[in-house]
Chains A and B, each alone.
Chain A
Amino acid sequence: MTNEALQNLIGPWFPNPDDDKVSDVVETIESEEDSDLSSNKSEDIAKPSEIVNPSLLEFSEEESQFLNILVQPEQLHALMTQLKSNQETNFDYLYCLSGVDWGAELGIVYHLESTTHRHRIVVKVKTADRENPTFDTVSNIWKTADFHEREVFDFFGVKFNNHPNLKYLFLTEDWEGYPLRKDYVDEINMVIK
């Protein structure tokens, strides 16, 4: 499936509740302008409806070879369940799960592939809470996520709700700090140029 088709399919799964209100506003503008009988009305009308995303998911193909979906943490588990179970998407292979420290935000990047359709997609989730970042686990959807999430827990300090066995995988239990975060400092072991 092409990226565009995927976007058209996945977008409506999570409709934006604010979208209805805005489209009402658009309609009212439309009716007002109709009465004005302005000549090039179509361009003016198109703008406000473009700004408001009809879906709670943000799609992007910029600076990436895949279709990227940015999802809010609340919708993460529902989206992932759908992506796996829907026959048209059928993303049954989670081939990479990476923690990323974007500076202000911490997040997870999921690389997904379908072994039947062979299309690929990237799902991202972010949180600004650096003290206690928490997402829902996807280890009950893809078993590989169990170890990958534990790796992220080790190195980024991101916790996962409902994870079956969330404890340090690589680090010793008394390790302080999260080594792969950008603000991690270790004056003894790290060589900083």
Chain B
Amino acid sequence: MDTTRVNSNFKSEEYFINMGPQHPATHGVLRLLLTIDGEIIKKVEPDLGYIHRSIEKMCERDSYQQIVHLTDRMDYLSSHINNEAVCLTVENALELEVPERVKVIRTIIGELTRIASHCLWWGVMGMDVGALTTYFYGFRDREMVNDIFEETCGARLTMNYNIPGGLMYDIHPNFIQRTKDFVAHFKTKIPEYDKLLTGNVIFQKRMKGVGILSKEDAISFGASGPVGRGSGYSCDVRKHHPYSALDKVTFNESLKTAGDSLARYEVRIMEMWESLSIIEQLIDNIPEGDYKVATKAVIKLPKGEYYQKVEAARGELGVYVISTGTKNPYRLKFRSPGFSNISLLNHIAVGGKIGDLVASMATLDIVVPDIDR
């Protein structure tokens, strides 16, 4: 701010304002305590817990099959991937080899989930910076993915398609054709997204050079997913610790080095292309076979500790299980991507304007139940 123009009779004063818990840009029940000087942000302090359900405590009471269902309610936009994380943990602990068919279907639906999640993010991202149209375009394409899910597993959001040992049912006969149709359709739509929003001058000015996160800080803050990769930090779990059928496909890790809001935006757009490519590589090669292996009705993990990480739509989701050999976990911790990503909001927002905070927050793509768990 140009201080010479400020009349010395008027002193600026810091004050607090509440953003949320009910605010459209917080995408849920998130309260931010902003310390403001004029319109410049001095400090952002997230106040969490408005929808905390203590899923980790509930897990200590539930069986492993039940826990899968709770994970839908964390990051509901990548529910399939969350389910997969718990199932992989259980399968690894039991040393259970699931059929190839299961692995491929899991990966295809995981990537479809990622696309659906990014479509929604792209829609609300535009809305957060004042472009209402994007919302309808994003939701139009997401509907198609949700329809595919609905046909195969009966649910559009909280899918519960994964179970320890495989899948709940086999895929619907229409699944392959509809997925192919969607891929063909969506390939014509991503360029449309770019035309509508990416190249827009106002949008570019709102995003470029705003909310900068360096690579060192990204690692230190535990940033993951597109937030980390927008800072040039190679953190794709699918690359570094591949799971399911991800070791059989070739794809590029979407990386940008600028570290600003635009970089995080571009990474997600690139990721949608990569997800399409992964689906294309797998959709014609779904192996024949069973869609699950039999597990005992009561699953008891051997005594020990297990950790499994997966790449959810928002970044690295970790499941840490301590088992004492009973049917419930002794302790279960979810390392959620949103929680680490929200912790760096203060770092990238300080010194900017409130409007920039909204734009930066939109590129973090937070889902509050994922933070609160």
Contacts and interface: CB of A to CB of B under 8 A. Distances in A.
Interface in B46-89: 47-49, 52, 54, 56-57, 61
Label chain B's interface by main secondary structure: mixed
Interface size class of A (residues with CB under 8 A): 35 or more
A115 B316 CA distance: 14
Nearest to B237: A95
Interface stretch (A6-14, A15-23, A126-134, A140-148): A140-148
B268 interface: no
Contacts of B240: 118
A93 B52 contact: no
A93 B223 CA distance: 9
B307 A144 contact: no
A100 B335 contact: no
B206 to A, nearest CB: 26
B306 interface: yes
A95 B335 contact: yes
Contacts of A171: 49
B303 interface: yes
A144 B339 CA distance: 9
B234 interface: yes
A193 interface: yes
Interface stretch (B128-136, B162-170, B190-198, B213-221): B213-221
Nearest to A142: B220
Contacts of B267: none
Interface of B: 47-49, 52, 54, 56-57, 61, 217, 219-222, 224, 233-235, 240, 302-307, 309, 316, 318, 320, 322, 331, 333, 335, 339-340, 342-344, 347, 372
Interface of A: 62-66, 92-96, 98, 100-101, 109, 111, 115, 118, 122, 142-144, 146-148, 151, 169-172, 179-180, 190-193
